[in-house]
């Protein structure tokens, strides 16, 4: 399977940061640690802290550390984490490089924006290619990146047409984004149904739509039964 993309490098001013205390998973941990919206084990999940990653320590509470993820306050259980010194960044003002990858998916759209500490995917769909797994054109391209892409911070779906969503289910399942942003429009096609089911299968994903947000009182119920019911049982399986 071939993988083609156009890469554009952007350089923007970089702010210097200093070393400080960070929260990280316990040494030897094999699984991600769930980040929560409040210091309560039953509160909503808001992303995950994976082995080898760290987040800045904001405060220490009984049983919990307060930290921040993408500007939002989150909490992580002390029993699963430890405090370490954050890796210092250069104190010399310079330039940060951001890459824009326009991925060849045939008749469709898939764009990756990647910086030193973040990765965002905007759409992944095709009218020409319904391949799955490693033959999925977006997956095939992402597999060629160096250094390897380990995770996505955000996945954005502009609208649920095949040429924008068809390749997203594999991406969500493999790279387990911290947050997924959806327009809220609905289209009862296989690609979009599989996309919703892929998100529903990952309880650590923070899901947003223009009509309901998992921080609001209009919580999106991601139980598999409720999602399956929403996706019209009269339609044939994908």
Which of the listed CATH numbers 3.60.15.10, 3.40.50.11540, 1.10.510.10, 3.30.2010.10 matches domain 5-9+93-230? Answer: 3.60.15.10
What is the spatial distance between Cα 126 and Cα 118, in angstroms, rounded to a whole number? 25
How much is the pLDDT for 98?
81
How many CB atoms are located within 10 Å of the residue 65 CB?
Answer: 23
**Range among 141-145, 169-173, 209-213, 222-226 rated most confident:** 169-173
Residue 141: closest CA among 165, 163, 162, 167: 167
CB distance 222 to 199 below 8 Å? yes
Greatest CA separation for the chain:
61
* Higher-confidence position of 88 and 156: 156
pTM: 0.58
- The CA-atom distances, in angstroms, between 128 and each of 46, 106, 109 are 35, 6, 11
The domain over range 21-85 is classified in CATH as 2.30.30.40: yes
Residue extents of the structural domains in the chain: 5-9+93-230, 21-85
Confidence of residue 237 (pLDDT cuts 50, 70, 90): low
What is the spatial distance between Cα 14 and Cα 1, in angstroms, rounded to a whole number? 37
How much is the pLDDT for 94?
55
> For residue 110, what are the contacts with CB-CB under 8 A and spacing of at least 6?
102, 103, 121, 122, 123, 124, 125, 126, 137, 138, 141, 167
């Amino acid at each position: 399977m071939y993988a083609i993309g156009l890469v554009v490098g952007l350089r923007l001013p970089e702010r210097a940061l200093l070393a400080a205390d960070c929260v990280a998973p316990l040494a030897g941990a094999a699984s991600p640690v769930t980040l929560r919206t409040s210091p309560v084990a039953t509160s909503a999940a808001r992303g995950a802290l994976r082995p080898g990653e760290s987040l800045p320590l904001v405060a220490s509470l009984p049983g919990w550390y307060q930290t921040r993820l993408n500007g939002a306050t989150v909490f992580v259980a002390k029993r699963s984490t430890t405090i370490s010194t954050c890796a210092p960044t250069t104190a010399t003002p310079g330039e940060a490089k951001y890459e824009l990858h326009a991925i060849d998916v045939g008749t469709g759209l898939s764009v990756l924006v990647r910086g030193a500490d973040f990765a965002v995917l905007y759409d992944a769909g095709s009218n020409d290619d319904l391949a799955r797994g490693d033959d999925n054109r977006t997956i095939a391209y992402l597999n060629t990146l160096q250094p390897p892409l380990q995770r996505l911070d955000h996945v954005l779906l502009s609208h649920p047409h095949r040429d924008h969503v068809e390749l997203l289910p594999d991406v969500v399942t493999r790279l387990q984004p911290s947050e997924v942003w959806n327009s809220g429009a609905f289209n009862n096609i296989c690609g979009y149904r599989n996309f919703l089911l892929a998100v529903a299968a990952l309880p650590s994903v923070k899901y947003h739509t223009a009509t309901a947000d998992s921080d609001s009182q209009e919580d999106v119920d991601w139980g598999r039964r409720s999602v399956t019911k929403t996706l019209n049982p009269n339609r044939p399986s994908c």
